[in-house]
Copies of this chain bind each other. A is one copy, B any other.
Amino acid sequence: MAQKKMVTAITSMNEDFAQWYTDIVKKAELVDYSSVRGCMILRPYGYAIWENIQKTLDQKFKETGHENVGMPLFIPESLLQKEKDHVEGFAPEVAWVTMGGNEKLTERLCVRPTSETLFCEHYSHVIHSYRDLPKLYNQWCSVVRWEKTTRPFLRTMEFWWQEGHTMHETAQEAVEETERMLNIYADVCENFLAIPVIKGRKTDKEKFAGAEATYTIEAMMHDGKALQSGTSHYFGDGFAKAFDITFTGRDNTLQYPHQTSWGMSTRIIGAIIMTHGDDNGLVLPPAIAPIQTVIIPVAQHTPGVLDKAFELKERLSKIVRVKVDDSDNSPGWKFAEYEMKGVPLRLEIGPKDMEKNQCVIVRRDTREKYFVPLEDLETRLPELLKAVHDGLYQRALQNRTEKTTSASNMEEMEAATKDKNGFVKAMWCGDLACEEKLKEVCGVTSRCMPFEQEQIAQTCVCCGKPAKSMVIWGKAY
């Protein structure tokens, strides 16, 4: 009677991966829908994951000298139009404010889809001398892109992100910055989110509107599809010229600064779900799990059990994010609930455990069970959390290894992509036509030209002309 309704099973991932994803997003209480089409509500548990990712990134940004700022939500149409490639890329997918109160605006304002133009206008006010450089700014905010079809985290009209925008004295410094930030994204993905990524450069077709070069980290989801997990762009001085940003250089000449931008968004939560989740629900990497260890009292009405549970919580809260669930729900219900929510470790404590001065710890990822003496918890818990992290990373890496093939010609390419997902390594001549043909024939796009190149063949997988680089091809979210 006092029970909340049982956590109902979710669709199996092998049966219907898309439905499995939607079930997790809902049952793990990450997101709710509203009457605002295409926008999601980040519920407390989902937002807490995002806050932990934010903290991790923000600390790394600050350690590398970046400062946060707050830019306006709106961009006047004339400002958006200043850089030609940029406006062509974004204008078709922005939301337009045309009325303020009861009055029609003389100029439409778009709701920012990204803020290069706003940062550039500001930079034109504050950059005058090489002494003002570099400017290393970042902003945490939400942006809006008018998407037709949406899915929570993966593609929503509004999403939360950070956007770094920097200006440098030289092209070399700017390029170094794009690499530095891409490395930070890769570090966070691999060492905090347990997601292995491939670092590389986007082809011209896939690069950011207005950029000279876009760098990316690409992750493989459990179903073999790719998810672009963070990007870093080098702009050269194109925006600087369009926005008339100049500085007096060390040689006393007037120069244009060199620009970068880089971003990671709530999309990464979709990557966490699809990399680590299983048929029992979400599986969270310990570093960003809002609850790292949940304490479940067993036979909690037996005198002393709840006291012990809260005593352990008090003790362990110094080293992990810990919660006791002392609700009236049964232990079985609670086990299922925290498995659904992906809590890395479950600590069970009951009268029998107390007699032996031990507890039971169960890993979310492998369901392995450990009997741990209570006095060892301070050393065992961090070890087990690390083991979960490492296990998740290895499992994801193995999945990627298993689902990565290579192809030397179109026959192999078609075989590698027909009715299946995965990464295919293949050589490319550099021509847009071949990229388009691979999309048409095999349904794949170029994910990136990895920094770590391999020589799969001498010739383009598509046209047979001399190859310029190896590309990772795949279907993508």
Contacts and interface: CB of A to CB of B under 8 A. Distances in A.
Interface of A: 4, 32, 34-36, 39-44, 46-48, 50-51, 67-76, 78-79, 92-102, 108-109, 111, 118, 121-122, 125-126, 131, 137, 141-142, 144, 146, 158, 160
A1 to B, nearest CB: 11
Contacts of A68: 44, 47-48, 51
Nearest to A105: B95
A113 to B, nearest CB: 11
24 contacts: A35-B76, A35-B78, A35-B79, A35-B121, A36-B74, A36-B76, A39-B72, A39-B73, A41-B71, A42-B71, A44-B68, A44-B137, A46-B70, A47-B69, A48-B68, A72-B158, A74-B95, A74-B158, A95-B109, A96-B98, A96-B99, A97-B97, A101-B146, A141-B142
Contacts of A101: 92-94, 146
The count of identical subunits is: 2
Secondary structure dominating the interface of A: mixed
B69 A34 contact: no
Contact of A69 (B44, B92, B118, B125): B44
A183 B214 CA distance: 49
Closest 6 CB pairs of A and B: A42-B70, A44-B67, A39-B72, A96-B99, A36-B72, A100-B146
Nearest to A108: B99
Contacts of A67: 44, 47-48
Given A35-B76, A47-B70, A70-B142, 9 more contacts: A36-B109, A41-B122, A42-B71, A46-B70, A47-B68, A74-B95, A74-B158, A94-B101, A100-B146
Nearest to A37: B76
A109 B98 CA distance: 11
